[in-house]
Structure 1
Amino acid sequence: MARPAHDYARVDKHVPVTRRAETADPYSPVMILLSLIATLGILFYAQFLLNPRNRGDLLPYTLVIVAEVILVTHALLSMWTILSGRKSPREFSFHEAKRLMFDKKAIKAAGLTDNPELWPVLLDGKKTDIDVFITVYGEDIEKIRATATAALAIRGKHRTWILDDGRSDDVKAMADEIGCYYIRRLSSNGAKAGNINHALSIAKGDFFVILDADFVPKPEFLVETVPFFVNSNVAFVQTPQTYGNLVNLVSRGAGYMQAVFYKFVQPGRNHFNAAFSVGTNVIYRRAAVNDIGGIYTDSKSEDVWTSLVLHERGWKTIYIPKTLAIGDAPETIEAYTKQQLRWATGGFEILLTHNPLSPKRKLTMDQRLMYLVTATHYLTGIAPGILLVVPALEVFFDLRPVNLDITWQTWLLFYAGFYLMQIVLAFYTLGSFRWEVLMLAAVSFPIYISALWNALVKKEQKWHVTGSKAKAQSPFNFMIPQVLVFVFLVTTSIVSVWRDLGNSQLSLATAWSITNTFILGAFMIVAIKENWHINHPPKNLVADPVEYLVDDEPVARRTTVIVPPELADELGVPELTAAKRTATPTHDSDTTDAAGVEQDSDQKEAAAK
């Protein structure tokens, strides 16, 4: 039986933030205590490393210091951020705006009681126009359909638009079928950011939601986000990326890897007005985006860059740790590699071209530190690669990071005080130890080294989507460095074990090498299995019909949409319903009218007359 792409009725057992976790207080006394103990562990380990009496040979000691300073600094800043997030961003003004969001008497008088997706949205007593943008670039059409259908059912009057940079006639026909507006452009300049900016030249809402094609929104998306905008200084409200496809080691590792960030770090950044957009499941104030000249287009990490520019202009941003859309994590090594490469390159670009510590940046000191953490975050992914070299230096050259007076038990005590507490903290956050996270964190350093190089040489990044329907390539095409490192570690471990047998004593270098070999080996096994499945796809597989659920209730597929008179006047198009539309696809135009019908040159000339 084919697994539904998105099924809210069953997703809780997969996603890192479950409904039970959402209703529980993440800042419980136990969580705060663990954070404080972890902080002490970090400090004790740092003191141990920096003590001159413990210093060993220069080269391995320098490598350890460089790697661990990166890790310790980020761990301390993360603890600080986490412990700063106790206060909820929902103040009295939010709750009051939420209470007054819908005029129940007017809704009943208009006969719309049973059509919550048509209820006019009131903000500060005024009707508000909202657009929902679904960015599309070659994803599977059924994923797009699921997202669009759920978007149409969001409570509160809004317009749902499919922004198709994949220029697919099938997607256009599907949009026409279910009643979405459709926009296609000829060029792909600016990638996703350019796609959104182009849509903003057509759609005229006061606020706009951005959803990736594989993120299915819940009906209450607007109800839980729009009331924040009663504060006129709020630029956007971001919600978490939660995943419903944690079905293999790669997707689980990629999904759970972000759980601590979305549950604790992003809420903490609210305290410093430094929460940033992650590109999907977010709603923007149009006036704020207009203030900075549109979504940032000079980087494939348009979300973080747009947030940075908004903060420099003095806008306020809000993050709420409430799952309002469920999407797909990368399921293959290829997809994971491309995703991380794009994200990391964007972070390093900020560090190298827009350093937050520069006096030119109009940021508060808190914001400078938060963006410095963001820009250098992926250095923590390079650190494990640096540490892989240290055992080999001892095995082959008898060079040690600490002096011979330090026993391996003493080293392990301080080492565990740092790393073990990080694992305990993650264990408490996720509900169990996720070794998939450890595996991906240990093997991703070649990706981040490549990203740093891309940022240094300003290499243009190609746009890749998580849900692309293109045929998967062999994972070994994307992990040649990991394969070479694995061969090196196997060799080092064999030599190290042989040496220890001769000395009749197990060394820390041997234990370290064997541990790293097993972690890289696990990744090799994942790649071999994935490669086998790519080369041996299931035959004669008939997919069962897929029913997409939202809060355990089937989403109705509406087939008509009426262009409001005021919108028709504004955009110069007649009132149409989906059933009456006729659409003849043309590929020589980057103009699409509000009803989703592309205009050729004759049509545009007639419309102008």
Structure 2
Amino acid sequence: MDFYFSEFEKRTPPQPASYSASRELLYQYLATCNIALGIWYLVWRWGFALNYDAMWFSLPLAFAESCAFVGSVLFAFNLWKTSDEPIKSPPATINECINEPMDDRPIGVDIMFPTYDEEPELVALSIRDALNVRYPHEIETRIFILDDGRRPEMAQLAADMGVEYITRDNNVGYKAGNLRNALEQTYGDFIVICDADTRPFPSILENTLGYFKDPDVAWVQTPQWFFDLPAGERLPAWLKKRLGTPISWLGSAFEKIYGPVTLGRDPYANDPQMFYDVIQRRRNWANASFCCGAGSIHRREAVMEAALRSYSQQISKEHEEVEKQIRKLTKEKSVDKNISANLRQEIIFDTEFTPYKFHVSEDIYTSLILHGDTEREWRSIQHPQIESKMLSPQDLQSWTVQRFKYSGGSIDIFMNDNPLFKKGMSLKQKLMYGASFWSNLSAIWNIIFLACPIVYFLTSIAPVSAYDTTFYMHFLPFVITAELAMMVGTWGVAGYQGKTNFLSFFPVNLRALWTVLRGKKISFPTTPKSRQQGLFLHLVIPQIAVFALSLGSMAFAWYAYSSGSFGSYSLGGLILNSFWTINNMMAMWGMIAAACWSPPADDVPTTVETTKELDYGIE
């Protein structure tokens, strides 16, 4: 069977960004300046620049600016420094990886591929690559297909390829339940978790198991790399084809300042290099790099030990809550010992023991449990080198489902089981996790940022006391240092498309937030691995509305100002809000274009027509 990604099979992954001590020092200087200027701006903004004649407008923007500033401070802390773990030689035996030596033997590794409805031919490619994984010492490697679809053809595939097949008679817990079921039937010292489309490189074990020579390392996360993204065209080449060689020099000069710019590549901003090579990698120094599922290697002992402790704590917590209710009803100071013991037994019977939390974000949930384990103080490591490849969402519908799950899962943890208020993690770890949770609340203030210039254009009412010299003296240094710090801090990894998608992501983010606030459960529908055909404009109606309102209101305001027919606009206010609006429109346009994007017809040998309603997986 031929797949659309067959032509990309020979692609090689990018190398990790090179560390530069001088660049890191420059970033720290710029970030410190930006935080100081941000505090200076916000103090002035709240104390001297509110428009008291339009507090309904001025206060929300000041609130949004403050929330965004908190996010920028957390992000600056995230990027503060790099502390890559030295790569160690691969261990030869299990005694090199544990505290207490035992009868020495080769290391055992279980490579697991959870699957539900993916095509057997697709899973076969992943199994084929897993069979080619090498190791310089004797090792017991077992490969498992974990089939929650209970399909005879998948069982036959496992038999044909000489790997093991595990299934179950229900789908409780989705992927987490699938992994738990497999852990009950396997015994490897280390577990490699893959998705059905994860294609491990031969080097994945020899490059990562060395970290486990430290007995406190619980898991190692490797970067995810989507090898099927559209290649696109670099800015200088794009300009040269359309405007000639002299203009292309401007593109080259711009790239030297801003970093590589590729046009026509990855309309959904799926490229995870910014996340893994910048954000996750910079969390190593705080021991706060969290697990992201596919491409991670886990120490079985850590997973099981943390699960037992979490299980015990959950039972004790429920036991205390029920006894508290009983004492409240009976007016007694204590509960009878026999009743208390029977109650505890009932709670134990009703509570699921699971190494992986039954949650749509089971990977980050497991990370929180392990990082919060005060007795063992487990460590995590973000390995900088790419050790596998996988497929990206290929249409806006698939992308939307995936991002909804990520956002909803993080918000659910933040709202219902927030680790930031629990003992166990260090302050540095809490700030790192706080940065992740805070970013998923950003739709609240992003809506304000999108609406403010529209309101100004339509009413001529300013959200600040005045767009005068004093305003620009406070505002521009803060904004300019923020951009400079971002460019230096991301080591040349282009992030503009990610930033604009972050802004245009607001409808999905809001839906996720509203789902959690209503107490709804987010399930785990699998992300389609085939390209879905058709236009998805119905998914970007909010973005289209923002784009149209922004363009129309800006045109109206400039006409009103030039003709003097309406309002009392200032030239400075019009210029600032026009730049602001253009940025918002570019963000919305990227998402609108993604809804219309499809690969060339000759690049789609296998596609799936879809007319069904989008399934967010809400229960």
TM-score (norm 2): 0.74
User: Match for residue 304 of structure 2?
Assistant: 290
> Which residue of structure 1 lines up, in the alignment, with residue 159 of structure 2?
176
1:410–1:499 Cα change, 3 Å: farther
Return the alpha-carbon distance in structure 1 between the equivalents of residues 605 and 436 of structure 2: 45
Query: Which residue does 2:369 correspond to in 1?
Result: 309
Query: CA deviation digits over 1:280-311, x for unaligned, max 9?
Result: 11111112111214333332000000110112
User: Residue 50 of structure 1 aligns with which residue?
Assistant: 43
Q: Deviations over 1:418-449 (max 9, x none)?
A: 5422552477432xx45432431221011111
Report deviation, 1:509: 2.4
Pair 1:26-2:19 in alignment: yes
Q: Distance in 2 between matches of 1:205 and 1:525?
A: 46
Is the CA contact (8 Å cut-off) linking 1:300 and 1:463 kept in structure 2?
yes
Taking only the aligned residue pairs, the percentage that are identical comes to 25
Aligned 8 A contact 2:394 2:531 in 1: no
Alignment of 1:454-533 (within 5 A): 454-469=515-530, 471=532, 474-503=535-564, 505=571, 506-530=574-598
Contact 1:341 1:448 (C-alpha < 8 Å) held by counterparts: yes
Alignment match, 2:336: none
- Contact kept, 8 Å, 1:251 with 1:329, in 2: the verdict is no
Report the equivalent of 2:287: 273
Deviation of 1:48 (Å): 1.6
* Secondary structure of the corresponding residue to residue 118 of structure 2: coil
What SS does the corresponding residue of 2:287 show, helix, strand or coil? coil
| 1:385 is the counterpart of 2:450 | no
Q: Distance in 1 between matches of 2:521 and 2:533?
A: 22
Name the stretch that deviates more: 303-312 or 29-38: 29-38
The more displaced of 24-33 and 342-351 is 24-33
How far residue 193 of structure 1 moved from its aligned partner, in angstroms, is: 0.4
The match for 1:396 is 458
Q: Which amino acid aligns with 1:53?
A: F
Contact 1:67 1:387 in 2 (8 A): yes
**For the residues of structure 1 that align with 2:295 and 2:90, how far apart are their CA atoms?**
23
- Which position in structure 1 is the counterpart of 2:190? 207
Separation (CA, whole Å) in 1 of partners of 2:605 and 2:542: 38
Deviation, 1:135, is: 1.5
1:82 maps to 79
What amino acid does structure 2 have at the position aligned with 1:89? E
Q: Secondary structure at the match of 2:484?
A: helix
* Selected match of 2:68 from 71, 83, 92: 71
Q: Distance in 2 between matches of 1:348 and 1:265?
A: 19
Query: Amino acid of the residue matched to residue 153 of structure 1?
Result: N
Deviates most, 415-424 or 348-357: 415-424
Deviation of residue 451 (structure 1)?
A: 1.1
Q: Give TM-score scaled by structure 1 length.
A: 0.75
User: Against the structure 1 CA distance between its residues 209 and 494, is the aligned structure 2 distance closer, same or farther, given a 3 Å change threshold?
Assistant: same
DSSP-derived class of the 1:65 partner = helix
Q: How does 1:330-479 map to 2 (within 5 A)?
A: 330-358=393-421, 360-404=422-466, 406-407=468-469, 410=473, 413-414=476-477, 416-421=479-484, 424-425=487-488, 428-430=491-493, 433=494, 435-469=496-530, 471=532, 474-479=535-540
Of residues 506-515 and 206-215 in structure 1, the stretch that sits farther from structure 2 once superposed is 506-515
- Partner secondary structure for residue 18 of structure 2: coil
The change in CA–CA distance for 1:61 and 1:469 in structure 2 (over 3 A counts) is same
User: Is the contact between residue 84 and residue 268 of structure 1 (CA under 8 Å) also seen in structure 2?
Assistant: yes
Picking from 115, 119, 127, the partner of 1:136 is 115
**2 CA distance for matches of 1:160 and 1:384?**
45
Give the Å deviation of 1:100.
4.7
Q: Which amino acid aligns with 1:262?
A: Y
Structure 1 range deviating more: 247-256 or 271-280? 247-256
1:486–1:517 CA contact under 8 A, matched in 2: yes
Alignment-derived partner of residue 256 in structure 2: none
Deviation at 1:218, TM superposition (A): 0.9
Report the Cα offset of residue 411 of structure 1: 6.6
Q: Which amino acid aligns with 1:271?
A: W
**How many angstroms does 1:471 deviate by?**
4.7
Structure 1: distance between partners of 2:265 and 2:563: 40
SS in structure 1 of the partner of residue 270 of structure 2: helix
Alignment partners' CA distance in 2, 1:155 and 1:241: 20
Q: Distance in 1 between matches of 2:156 and 2:535?
A: 33
SS in 1 for 2:191: strand
Q: Note the residue ranges of structure 1 that are not aligned, 5 or more in a row.
A: 13-17, 103-119, 544-609
Q: Following TM superposition, by how much is the alpha carbon of 1:142 offset from its aligned partner in structure 2, in angstroms?
A: 3.3
Match of 2:360 in 1: 300
CA–CA distance in structure 2, aligned partners of residues 99 and 539 of structure 1: 44
SS in 2 for 1:317: strand
Residue 540 to residue 529, structure 1, CA distance change in 2 (3 Å): closer
> CA, structure 1 residues 241+371, in 2 after alignment: closer, same or farther (shift >3 Å)?
same
SS in 2 for 1:280: coil
Task: Return the alpha-carbon distance in structure 2 between the equivalents of residues 189 and 520 of structure 1.
Answer: 38
SS of residue paired to 1:182: strand
Query: C-alpha distance in 2, partners of 1:5/1:301?
Result: 31
Letter of the aligned partner of 1:154 in structure 2? V
CA shift at 1:163, angstroms?
1.0
Amino acid at match of 2:33: L
Q: Give the Cα–Cα distance (whole angstroms) in 1 for the partners of residues 27 and 428 of structure 2.
A: 24
> What residue identity is the alignment partner of 1:144?
V
Deviation at 1:204?
Answer: 1.5
SS of 2:286's equivalent in the other structure is: coil
Contact 1:153 1:219 in 2 (8 A): yes
Alpha-carbon separation, structure 1, partners of 2:149 and 2:591 = 33
**Aligned residue identity for 1:268:** R
For residue 368 of structure 1, what is the amino acid of its counterpart? K
Q: How far did 1:199 drift? A: 0.8
Q: Deviations over 1:102-129 (max 9, x none)?
A: 7xxxxxxxxxxxxxxxxx9975653221
CA distance in 2, matches of 1:540, 1:403: 55
1:346 offset after TM fit, Å?
Answer: 1.4
User: Kindly tell me: are residues 300 and 54 of structure 1, through their superposed partners in 2, closer, same or farther at Cα, counting changes over 3 Å?
Assistant: same
How far apart, CA to CA, are the structure 2 residues paired with 1:405 and 1:489? 20
CA contact (8 A) 2:267 2:593 kept: no
Moved more, 123-132 or 229-238: 123-132
Write the distance in 2 (CA, Å) between the matches of 1:100 and 1:192: 30
CA shift for structure 1 position 246: 1.7
Select 2:34's aligned residue among 41, 54, 59: 41
CA distance in 2, matches of 1:82, 1:419: 13
Change (3 A) 1:500 1:435: farther
Give the root-mean-square deviation of aligned CA atoms: 3.0
| Contact 2:92–2:106 (8 Å) recurs in 1 | no
